[in-house]
Each structure stands twice: as structure tokens, then as C-alpha cells.
Amino acid sequence: MNFATTAVTAASAVTVTMRAEEWSSTATTCNEEFAPRAHWYYAIFCPVCTAAIAKSNMDQSSPVYNVFCVPPCVTYSYLRLGYNLKGSWQTDCINGFLCAPCGARQAYTESKKKGHIAGHYGLQDQQWSSELFRCDDLQEVVKALFCPCIVAHDIRTMIQPTAHPAFDYPCLFPVAMYGIIRNMFGITSEWPHPALEDAGVGCFLYPCALNRALREAAYQKTVNATNAVAGVIGSAQARVQQLGTKALRSVGQLGKSSAPPAPGMS
């Protein structure tokens, strides 16, 4: 069993499924109250730019990087799962690809309402857990070289478990996963600008970059699962200790009430 599989197995024990929320507006909403007219102007004039900014609003990523590496349909899907909104991979295709301005406007409006999501997104205060040119697993290298779309989907399911392969295989750019993972986990970039590293390494060293992103996603998922399990165990121990203390107090009070009266006190 490889490291990635171990991570998924460990995390599955502590994964909690939350009920998806409603979008604040539909893709075709024209009501000024729910979909400001300016948002429609942005989306119609440049849906790619609007989607890129929407993703940046959510995860503090570089809009320039998003324009070139993250298609609007992927942004729509990524934002939907990131905010835990209702929908499916089919609606991601329809609203994000077949009607890009509608999907871009909806995503942009949602990102303006909800803002940044919690986490290390864009903080650049962490380090990679593995080297870029780590080639000790030949199978991993070959898979990334000849089946990058499959590896990209594997990475995405570690950060967004409900992502669907029917959407990811044709729509998700494998070269984008390096930047998405680096930004998501707040990993420090040593390049003049993080977007340059994300685009340069992701495009020109894609097998190594893809595998590094895969290892990082697996590592972070294992860490999160371990922390979650530790939190559950800690809470259980605290509860047991609390119940034990109450039981001892009850026994003590019972002993006092049942003790025979002292001589001369009757």
C-alpha cells in the first residue's frame, strides 16, 4: 500500500459529510439584489478574468496564474466544492463551460459574498514535505508521465473528495495542480513571484511537479486525519476524566450520607 492510499484510508475514518448549501444566486439570475449588474458586465466582457478573480477571492491565489492555468469550468467546480455548494459535475460543465459568462458571474458573486475560506491558503509559511526531483518510485513517475490526467484527479480527490473523474479527466489541467497544492497549503515559494514557480515548474517539469503535488496532498491529508483522530481521542479522554470526577464526588457524598451517627448524637 503506497503513501497516498494510506492517507486516503486514514482520513476516511474521520471524514464528516456536511450538507451542501444553496448558491446565493442562480447562473441566470438578473435580479440586481442577488446578482449586481457590474458582475454581469465583468463576466460578459471577460469570463476568464472574472473566473480567475473569483478563485482568487476564495483561496487567495494569483489571478494571473488562474487566467492561464485554471479554466473557468474548473474554477466553477473548484469553488462549488470549496464552499460546499449544491451541484454536480454535470452542472459544472454546463455553467462553467457551455455558458462560461453565466458560470463566471455566479462564481464571482458567490466569492464576493463568502470571501476567503479558512486554512493556510496563500500564507507561504510552510515547506514542501518532499523534494521536487524525487524519483524513487518508478511506477509513480511513469504514471505521471503517461497518465497525467489520472494523477491530477487523484490529487484533487485528496483535497476535494467528491470531485468526479468524468469532469476532471477532460477539464482539469494537470500542470495546474502544482500551483493549486502549493497555494492551498501555504507553501513558501523561493521564486521572485509564486505564480512564476507555479507556472514554470508545473509546465516545464510537469511529471516531477505533479508527483510532488501528489505526495504533498497525501502527506497533508494524513496529517489532518491524524490531528482529527488525536482531537477525538483527547475529547474522549477529557469526557471520561470528567465523568470519573463526578462519580467520585457522588460516591463521597453517598458515603457521608450513609455513615452512622456519632455516639451521643442520636
**Residues 179 and 145 reside in one and the same domain:** yes
**pLDDT tens-digit profile of 215-262?**
999 999 888 788 777 666 767 667 667 766 676 666 666 666 655 655
Q: DSSP secondary-structure letter at 123?
A: -
**Residues 104 and 173 reside in one and the same domain:** no
State what percent of residues in the chain have pLDDT above 90: 61
How would you classify residue 261: left for phi > 0, otherwise alpha for psi between -120 and 50, otherwise beta? beta
185 in a domain, yes or no?
yes
**Residues 94 and 188 reside in one and the same domain:** no
- The mean of the pLDDT values for the chain is 85
**Residues 99 and 143 reside in one and the same domain:** no
131 in a domain, yes or no?
no
**Residues 144 and 235 reside in one and the same domain:** yes
Question: Residue 21 forms beta bridges with which residues?
Answer: 85
Mean pLDDT, range 112-141, rounded to an integer? 88
Question: Residue 181 in contact with residue 4, Cβ under 8 Å?
Answer: no
**Residues 147 and 186 reside in one and the same domain:** yes
Q: Above 70 in pLDDT, residue 266?
A: no
**pLDDT tens-digit profile of 63-122?**
999 999 999 999 999 999 999 999 999 999 999 888 999 999 999 999 999 999 988 888
Looking at residue 159, its pLDDT comes to: 94
**Residues 142 and 236 reside in one and the same domain:** yes
127 in a domain, yes or no?
no
Top-confidence residue, 189 or 14 = 189
166 in a domain, yes or no?
yes
204 in a domain, yes or no?
yes
Q: What are the phi and psi torsion angles at 24 (to 5°)?
A: -75, -15
**Residues 195 and 158 reside in one and the same domain:** yes
**Residues 166 and 198 reside in one and the same domain:** yes
Indicate the pLDDT class of residue 32, thresholds 50, 70 and 90: confident
108 in a domain, yes or no?
yes
Question: Residue 157 in contact with residue 166, Cβ under 8 Å?
Answer: no
State what percent of residues in the chain have pLDDT above 70: 81
Q: Total domain count for the chain?
A: 2
Mean pLDDT, range 153-181, rounded to an integer? 95
209 in a domain, yes or no?
yes
Concatenated DSSP letters of 24-90: SS-TT---TTTS-HHHHHHHHH-HHHHHHHHHHHHH---HHHHHHHS-HHHHHHHHHHHTTBS--HH
Q: Within 13 A of 62's CA, how many CA atoms are on the CB side?
A: 20
Amino acid at 2: N
Rounded distance, CA 152 to CA 213, Å? 9
Rounded distance, CA 255 to CA 252, Å? 5
**Residues 194 and 144 reside in one and the same domain:** yes
Looking at residue 201, its pLDDT comes to: 93
Among 28-32, 128-132, 182-186, 195-199, where is mean pLDDT lowest?
28-32
Indicate the pLDDT class of residue 31, thresholds 50, 70 and 90: confident
Question: Which single residue is written with the C-alpha cell 482531537?
Answer: 231
Looking at residue 254, its pLDDT comes to: 63
Looking at residue 121, its pLDDT comes to: 86
- The boundaries of the domain holding residue 182 are 138-240
DSSP H/E element including 104? helix 100-114
**Residues 86 and 165 reside in one and the same domain:** no
Torsion on CA atoms 173, 93, 90, 157, rounded to nearest 10 = 20
Rounded distance, CA 164 to CA 170, Å? 11
Question: Which single residue is written with the C-alpha cell 514557480?
Answer: 197
Total residues belonging to the chain? 266
Amino acid at 45: F
17 in a domain, yes or no?
no
Looking at residue 8, its pLDDT comes to: 44
**Residues 173 and 228 reside in one and the same domain:** yes
Please, which residues have CB within 8 angstroms of residue 48's CB and are 6 or more apart in sequence?
Answer: 67, 71, 72, 100, 104
Top-confidence residue, 206 or 12 = 206
